[in-house]
Amino acid sequence: MLFNYLRKPNPTNLLTSPDSFRYFEYGMFCMGWHTPATHKIIYYIASCLIFAWCVVYLPIGISISFKKDINTFTPNELLTVMQLFFNSVGMPFKVLFFNVYISGFYKAKKLLSEMDKRCTTSEERVEVHRGVVRCNKAYLIYQFIYTAYTISTFLSAALSGKLPWRIYNPFVDWRESRSSFWKAALNETALMLFAVTQTLMSDLYPLLYGLILRVHLKLLRLRVEKLCTDPRKCDAENEQDLIKCIKDHKLIIDYAAAIRPAVTRTIFIQFLLIGICLGLSMINLLFFSDIWTGLATVAYINGLMVQTFPFCFVCDLLKTDCELLVSTIFHSNWINSSRSYKSSLIYFLKNAQKSIAFTAGSIFPISTGSNIKVAKLAFSVVTFVNQLNIADRLTKN
């Protein structure tokens, strides 16, 4: 039943909005973020071990390895370690922000359940089902991309006889023998699978929030289009329909407010890291990689791009959805309605004009334009390295 939440819509068994996070919650459980109802003590111990291994040991191990072995690093190994170091430093903050504001996650799920109660027609419930499937597909796509990077890096290192990430291991010296090498390599790969999944979780949840939010904005817009179009309803009934739409919009605003604290801080950290890490990856790919490390670097770049771009694009779409909602309210069938109805409509219109927007660290807007500006830093770094012939100097040294 692994793919049960990717099934086609069935009128008798449709998914609900909280199911958008079903696979994400499986990942939360595996990473120690979602406490089960039973065996809590064992789970807490396992959670602490995973946290210490991925969030504490990883950046410390990279730092020790960097200090001890910097003179033996090839340029390719140096850049790979630096990529991992910056990500490992940023990951604890992203994990921390989600878990500090995890109450917003559960509040958002409750609000989604409230929104689902307004989906009374089969068409609306099918639309919600399709949005849920889209979210669960996004999780699996992200899982594939992030896992592909880990496995490809392991395979490229194994084929070249070098450790994938050169993380310091106090118990095994990988240079002693072939068996020690494989022990160290497998330990690093297992560690990175957990660390990459932690990163995946903290990178993905803003996108899932945004995708299901767009579904409910679309449904609200369709309801507004139907206002005052049923000739069998009186003015009082039409006004009640309008008030329900206003309440739906209030739920959507509350939902955005619930997810905003974690999202803005997470995306801010990602924006800080993506320019540096993408620049290092481009230098590695263009100047130092062979075919195997090149494939691993391409997989890493793909992972970097999906960290921010999809959610930034969804934020642009949310802005457009809000503008369409305002236009739909204004062009709805209100001309022959009562004075009370028009007063309520004006109130609705004023509130709807406040677009749903997110900012990175309350500093700059989260949008495709901002993402492109941050990504340009990577190409500036590559140009700088190329102009000063730094790559040639590293290769000679």
Q: What is the 3 state secondary structure string of the chain?
A: CCCHHHCCCCCCCCCCHHHHHHHHHHHHHHHCCCCCCCCHHHHHHHHHHHHHHHHHHHHHHHHHHHHHHHHHCCHHHHHHHHHHHHHHHHHHHHHHHHHHCHHHHHHHHHHHHHHHCCCCCHHHHHHHHHHHHHHHHHHHHHHHHHHHHHHHHHHHHHHHCCCCCCCCCCCCCCCCCHHHHHHHHHHHHHHHHHHHHHHHHHHHHHHHHHHHHHHHHHHHHHHHHCCCCCCCCCHHHHHHHHHHHHHHHHHHHHHHHHHHHHHHHHHHHHHHHHHHHHHHHHHHHHHHCCHHHHHHHHHHHHHHHHHHHHHHHHHHHHHHHHHHHHHHHHCCCCCCCCHHHHHHHHHHHHHHCCCCCCEECCCEECCHHHHHHHHHHHHHHHHHHHHCCHHHHHHHC
For the ranges 78-82, 104-108, 191-195, 371-375, which has the lowest average pLDDT? 78-82
Residue 68's pLDDT is 83
Per-residue pLDDT of 214-263, as tens digits, reads 999 999 999 999 999 988 888 889 999 999 999 999 999 999 999 999 99
Query: What percentage of the chain exceeds 70 in pLDDT?
Result: 94
pLDDT at 291 over 90: no
Residue 36's pLDDT is 86
Residue 388's pLDDT is 58
Residue 102's pLDDT is 92
User: What is the rounded average pLDDT of the residues 181-204?
Assistant: 90
Cα three-residue angle 364-369-373, rounded to 5 degrees: 80
Per-residue pLDDT of 297-338, as tens digits, reads 787 787 788 888 999 999 999 999 999 999 999 999 898 888
Per-residue pLDDT of 4-55, as tens digits, reads 889 898 888 899 999 999 999 999 999 988 888 888 899 999 999 998 888 8
What is the value of pTM for the model shown? 0.88
Residues 6+ apart with CB under 8 A from 76: 284, 288, 289, 290, 293
CA distance 196 to 91: 9
Are the C-beta atoms of 163 and 173 separated by less than 8 Å?
no
Residue 344's pLDDT is 93
CA distance 318 to 130: 18
pLDDT at 88 over 90: no
| Stronger pLDDT, 112 or 383, i.e. the higher one | 112
Residue 396's pLDDT is 55
Residue 277's pLDDT is 82
120 phi and psi, to 5 degrees? -95, -20
Phi-psi region of 18 (alpha: psi -120 to 50; beta: other; left: phi over 0): alpha
User: What is the rounded average pLDDT of the residues 162-182?
Assistant: 86
| Stronger pLDDT, 332 or 71, i.e. the higher one | 332
Per-residue pLDDT of 102-157, as tens digits, reads 999 999 999 999 999 999 899 999 999 999 999 999 999 999 988 988 888 888 87
- Quote the mean pLDDT of the chain: 87
Residue 245's pLDDT is 95
